[in-house]
Amino acid sequence: MNEPLTARDYKSDVHPVWCPGCGDFGILNALTKAMAARQLPPEHVALISGIGCSSRLPAYLTTYGFHGVHGRALPLATGLAVARPDLTVVAMGGDGDGFSIGGNHFMHACRRNVNMVYLVMDNAVYGMTKGQASPTTETDWTGSKLTPAGTHMPAFRPLEIALASGCAFVAREFSGNPNGLARRIDEALDYPGFAFIQVLSPCITYRPEQMGYKKIVHDDFEPTAVRTEAMARLLDDDGMTTGLLFKAPPAPWQGDPVPDRHRAPERVLRVGAAA
């Protein structure tokens, strides 16, 4: 009963739909390690996801979870975190879910700064629909039958967008380093605001070249609390730098409501009542 919880205790018996070798396994492992490190009671944790390969993750945990519709993990998590500040809320999903169909929510969740962790498992491709370009796909990637001549659009830069939108905990990690990612998730869970981690997570089926990530990621971010420094650091970033980029005290969310037991909403509706 009082045995310490291990990472295994957070894993359910549901078998992942992911391809063997998928980067998302590393993220699942890191997340369960981080929760074990904090000895979080599984019933106090809620994993909120949208649609996509990575959004299947809540089913593989023994915590509470919500597998919602495409692109809306952040608002659903926001509602839960605001209504139930006693819970540990983790929103997660893929790059399409978070940056394309849910891109608007990403910016506003950064601004709103409600206490939660947001993990984007970024493989720069739509895997579940079998290999289309995502917002983070390189301009010249011609591997999709839907955009055989490339995307003709620059890749979305999530860290810059997060910084510009007011996010005060911005990091990038690599699924191939689950211990480092677990430590970063642990730190993000400690942070009393909206914490965003972009996790580079290779898709070995549609982007097999991403298996080379492990050779090119480099742990070079030096954390800063100065937003302009963080932004400047990204100007010549190759997208493969990992670590904590920016961490500053959170601007508080609107806060807890103040109860007023003497207030009666009926009073203002009554004819002849004092205004």
Partner 1 sequence: MTTDIGTQPETAPAAPGTPSNTLSIAISGSGGAGVMTVGELLLDAAARAGLYGRMGRTFGPQIRGGEAAALLRLSSRPVEGVGDAYDLLVALDWGNIDRFADEIPLASDSRVLFEARAGEVPEIIARTGARLLEQPYGEIARGVRGGRSNLVVLGQLARILALDPEVVRDAVRGRFGGTAIDTALAVLDLGLDRAPPIDRPIKRSSAGATGGSTASLPPATPRWNLSGNQAAGLGALRGGVRFVAAYPITPATDLLEWLAVELPAVEGHLVQAEDELAAVNMCIGASFGGVPAMTATSGPGLALMLESVGLAVAAEVPMVIVDVMRGGPSTGIPTKSEQTDLDVAVHGLHGEAPHLVLAPLGVADCLFTTQWSVELAEALQVPALVLSDQSLAQSRLVVDEPPVRVSPATRRRAEAPGEGYRRYALTDDGVSPMAVPGTPGGMHVADGLTHDPRGRPSSRASDHSAQLDKRRDKLVGFDFGDAWGEVDGDGSLAVITWGSSTAAVREAAARLRASGRAVRTIALRLLSPLPVEALTRALDGVERAIVVEHNHSGQLHRQLRAAADWPCPLFAWHRPGPLPLRPGELVEVIDARLTACSPPEETPA
Q: Which residues from 5-34 bind partner 1, rule CB under 8 A? A: 14
The verdict on 3 binding partner 1 (CB under 8 A) reads no
The verdict on 149 binding partner 1 (CB under 8 A) reads no
Bridge partners of residue 194, in order along the sequence: 116
Taking the C-alpha atoms of residue 183 and residue 205, their distance in angstroms, rounded to an integer, is 28
The verdict on 71 binding partner 1 (CB under 8 A) reads yes
Taking the C-alpha atoms of residue 167 and residue 128, their distance in angstroms, rounded to an integer, is 29
Stretch that binds partner 1, among 135-143, 154-162, 241-249, 265-273 (CB under 8 A): 265-273
The verdict on 235 binding partner 1 (CB under 8 A) reads no
Candidates 7, 36, 46, 197; binder of partner 1 (CB under 8 A) is 46
Q: Which residues from 109-138 bind partner 1, rule CB under 8 A? A: 112
Taking the C-alpha atoms of residue 26 and residue 145, their distance in angstroms, rounded to an integer, is 29
Length reported for the chain? 275
Supply the minimum distance, in Å, between the C-beta of residue 5 and partner 1. 13
Beta carbons of 132 and 125 less than 8 angstroms apart:
yes
Secondary structure element (H or E) that encloses residue 194, with its range: strand 194-200
Supply the minimum distance, in Å, between the C-beta of residue 70 and partner 1. 9
Q: Which residues from 197-226 bind partner 1, rule CB under 8 A? A: none
Backbone phi and psi for residue 250, each to the nearest 5 degrees, phi listed first: -75, 140
Supply the minimum distance, in Å, between the C-beta of residue 129 and partner 1. 15
Q: What is the DSSP string of 114-147?
A: -SEEEEEEE-SSBTTTTSB--TTS-TT----SSS
Candidates 7, 23, 31, 63; binder of partner 1 (CB under 8 A) is 63
Stretch that binds partner 1, among 32-40, 179-187, 242-250, 264-272 (CB under 8 A): 264-272
Q: Is 236 exposed, middle or buried (0-12, 13-18, 19+ CB in 10 A)?
A: exposed
132: DSSP letter: B
Q: Which residues from 90-109 bind partner 1, rule CB under 8 A? A: 104-105, 107-108
Cβ atoms < 10 Å from Cβ of 138: 15
* Residue ranges binding partner 1 (CB under 8 A): 14, 41-48, 56, 58-59, 62-69, 71-72, 74-84, 86-87, 104-105, 107-108, 112, 256-260, 263, 265-266, 269-272, 274-275
